[in-house]
Amino acid sequence: MFKNILIIKHGALGDLIQITGSLKSIRSKYPNSKITLLTDEKFIFFTKDIIFVNEVIYESRSSPVRIDLWILSLLKIISKNYDLIIDLQNSDRTSVYYFFSKIFNFKLAWSGNRHGGKFKYRLSKENQLPIKDRIINQLKLMDIDSSDKPEIDWMIKNNINDFPSNDFVIFLPGSSPKHKHKRWPAENFAKLAIILKEKNIDTVILGQSKSEGEEIKKIKSLSPSTIDCSDKDLSFIATMASKAIGAIANDTGPTFIVAAVGCPVTWLLSSHTNPKITQLVGSKVNTLKKEDISEISVVEVENNLALRH
């Protein structure tokens, strides 16, 4: 029925990882359609390899007052003459896209929370639902059964051989530079690494030295046996996670990749993250949360480690 489909999703990296199962479901529903994903240009490092869409187009959301950038994105949408747009963002910005897209293409079918859309998803009690459940319910209106399990097996590579000889766990000590309050203290990661080493379990740091360099250096200086695998791409992270016996992680985008490939995660959170809304989907997730993330002790993490058996 629909031959030219646009899916809109911005959000954070974790949000994009979480919708990969939905992208697969949409592709299964419309196997012969051209499917395009519209997302933020800062996620090109992840979205350029997604296998469930034919094309990815990007926009910049650097400033809400840059109306010229809004217009540029709108022109991209209108020029493609889509017959179905699935709005998985449902934001003020996409409501503007809906309004003008319908003016230029009155036959356009729209899935989202906009009044007048063909597949209107009602937002009653919306804030009480996890993001992934909102999307599942929205797609059900189109008879699309979507899984909440991310689909990122395509990220796992067979040409990576940098695995430690012992069992190992992954450390993800970083977070967005804007949210450093979400970072468990580096010295705690180091103390935990020493404890694990005594149990013959290696530790591997994954992260980006550009934004998390201080944490990575501190962990290495206090626990020299920890293996530094920072500055690797997301496929490397997915592949390492597929072999690790567990991960200790902050609320950061790569954590969603680690969980999605089935690696057990000990998830460390502050009051700034609501795990009921931003849910981590994986084989096993142990969540430790306190008002201030630094109040989570090393002993608490050690006693609540999520590990493969």
How far is CA 227 from each of CA 38, 95, 193, 200, rounded to the nearest angstrom? 37, 47, 10, 14
User: What DSSP element (H or E) covers 188?
Assistant: helix 186-198
Q: Kindly calculate the radius of gyration of the chain based on its CA atoms and give it in whole angstroms.
A: 21
In the block, tokens 């058996």 appear at: 309
pLDDT value, residue 258: 95
pLDDT value, residue 124: 59
Angle formed at CA 172 by CA 305 and CA 225, multiple of 5 degrees: 80
Pick the closest to residue 157 from 238, 253, 214, 49 (CA basis): 238
Taking only the tens of pLDDT, the chain with its 309 residues reads 899 999 999 878 888 998 999 999 999 999 999 999 999 998 898 898 899 999 999 988 666 667 778 788 888 899 999 999 999 998 888 888 898 898 888 889 999 887 778 888 876 555 567 778 888 999 999 999 987 788 998 999 887 777 898 999 999 999 887 888 999 999 999 999 999 999 999 999 999 988 899 999 999 999 999 999 999 999 999 999 999 999 999 999 999 999 999 999 999 999 888 777 777 887 799 999 999 999 999 999 999 999 997
Sort residue 264 into left (φ over 0), alpha (ψ -120 to 50) or beta: beta
Q: Which CATH architecture group holds 162-303?
A: 3-Layer(aba) Sandwich (3.40)
The two tokens of residue 258 are 């680690």
How far is CA 148 from each of CA 23, 145, 237, 266, rounded to the nearest angstrom? 11, 10, 21, 20
Question: Which DSSP string corresponds to 208-220?
Answer: -HHHHHHHHHHHH
Q: Please give the backbone phi and psi of residue 94, each rounded to the nearest 5 degrees, phi first.
A: -70, -20
Q: Please give the backbone phi and psi of residue 38, each rounded to the nearest 5 degrees, phi first.
A: -105, 120
pLDDT value, residue 105: 87
The domain made up of 4-152 has a fold known as: Rossmann fold (3.40.50)
Torsion of CA 18, 81, 83, 100, to 10 degrees: 80
pTM for this prediction: 0.84
Q: Structural domain boundaries of the chain? A: 4-152, 162-303
pLDDT value, residue 2: 94
The two tokens of residue 137 are 């319910």
pLDDT value, residue 22: 94
